[in-house]
């Protein structure tokens, strides 16, 4: 069943590590079903924001709302593609995804069917029984995306998922992701260093300042992109 996509709002979020302020007054608004890119210099707090938004680390100040409610515990309705794909080396691609299904408490037979279906959509069916080190960087990243989607979360967050990949692989994965997004209408937060990728993929690009990070600019993509019918028109920005 398709979940209603989630919204994420930050109101003056602060994050300190000891005496160091990593994020200082981050205010942003990610609407349900939107594909938003976050760009900004290294160290500005992009990954930190992602971990806070997932409820994996606490904020030090400000407000973080998911679906309009303060986030008080780890968000389970989220799939994360970490900056380093973080696959388990001694598990095959399929086992990596199935382990996640088990952790999520999914019934295993349908989960396996879904895993294989995702592998098919991501063009890695032939990799199911291979180990991560037998796979190319692009294939490992696709396994990582399949793992993030196994429980059909309504939010998908990807932290520089294409960083280490060559241009052709990036373009292919980008295309697959676009297809998946169209099918599933998830809220997507895409962290990247590439303004081209950000503009090519998303509805909106949020630009962060150097440390301590906050959103300093916003690029709204004006080109009409295909959009799932059930999401209706593009969000209105008149507010
Ligand atoms: P980005 O993902 O934008 O490159 P990060 O969110 O990883 O930036 O980091 C933001 C800042 O916070 C950096 O200066 C980083 O060194 C610091 N930082 C991140 N995580 C920790 C941590 N667990 N402890 C101390 N400092 C951290
Ligand atoms: Mg980072």
pLDDT score for 2:
44
Q: Cα(68)–Cα(76) distance, rounded to whole angstroms?
A: 16
Residue nearest to atom 19 of ligand 1 (CA): 48
With a cut of 70, which residues of the chain have pLDDT below it?
A: 1-4, 85, 223-239
Q: Where are the alpha helices (DSSP H) in the chain?
A: 46-53, 93-103, 108-121, 137-149, 167-184, 195-201
Our mutation pick for probing the ligand 1 site, out of 14, 38, 48, counting the most ligand atoms within 8 A of Cβ, is 48
The answer to whether residues 206 and 53 touch, using CB atoms and an 8 Å cutoff, is no
The owner of tokens 């709302």 is 65
The owner of tokens 């981050």 is 26
Q: Cα(230)–Cα(187) distance, rounded to whole angstroms?
A: 14
The answer to whether the CB of 192 is under 6 A from ligand 1 is no
pLDDT score for 239:
40
pLDDT score for 179:
77
Beta bridge partners of 218: 206
- Report the length, in residues, of the chain: 239
Residue nearest to atom 27 of ligand 1 (CA): 17
pLDDT tens, position by position, 60-87? 999 999 999 998 888 888 999 988 768 9
The answer to whether residues 5 and 33 touch, using CB atoms and an 8 Å cutoff, is yes
């Amino acid at each position: 069943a398709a979940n209603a996509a989630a919204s994420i709002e930050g109101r003056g979020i602060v994050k300190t590590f000891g005496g160091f302020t990593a994020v200082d007054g981050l205010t942003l608004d990610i609407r349900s079903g939107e594909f938003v890119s976050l760009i900004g210099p290294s160290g500005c707090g992009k990954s930190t924001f992602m971990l806070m938004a997932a409820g994996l680390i606490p904020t030090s100040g400000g407000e973080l709302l998911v679906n309009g409610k303060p986030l008080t515990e780890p968000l389970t309705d989220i799939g994360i593609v970490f900056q380093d794909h973080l696959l388990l080396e001694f598990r095959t691609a399929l086992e990596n995804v199935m382990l996640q299904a088990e952790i999520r408490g999914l019934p295993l037979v349908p989960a396996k069917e879904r895993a294989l279906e995702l592998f098919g959509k991501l063009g890695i069916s032939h990799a199911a029984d291979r180990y991560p080190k037998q796979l190319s960087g692009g294939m490992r990243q696709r396994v990582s995306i399949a793992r993030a989607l196994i429980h059909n979360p309504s939010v998908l967050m990807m932290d520089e998922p294409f960083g280490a990949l060559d241009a052709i692989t990036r373009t292919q994965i980008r295309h697959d992701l676009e297809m998946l997004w169209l099918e599933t209408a998830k809220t997507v937060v895409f962290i990247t260093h590439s303004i081209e990728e950000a503009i090519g993929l998303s509805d909106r690009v949020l630009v962060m300042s150097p440390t301590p990070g906050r959103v300093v600019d916003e690029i709204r993509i004006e080109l009409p992109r295909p959009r799932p019918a059930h999401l209706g028109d593009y969000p209105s920005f008149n507010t």
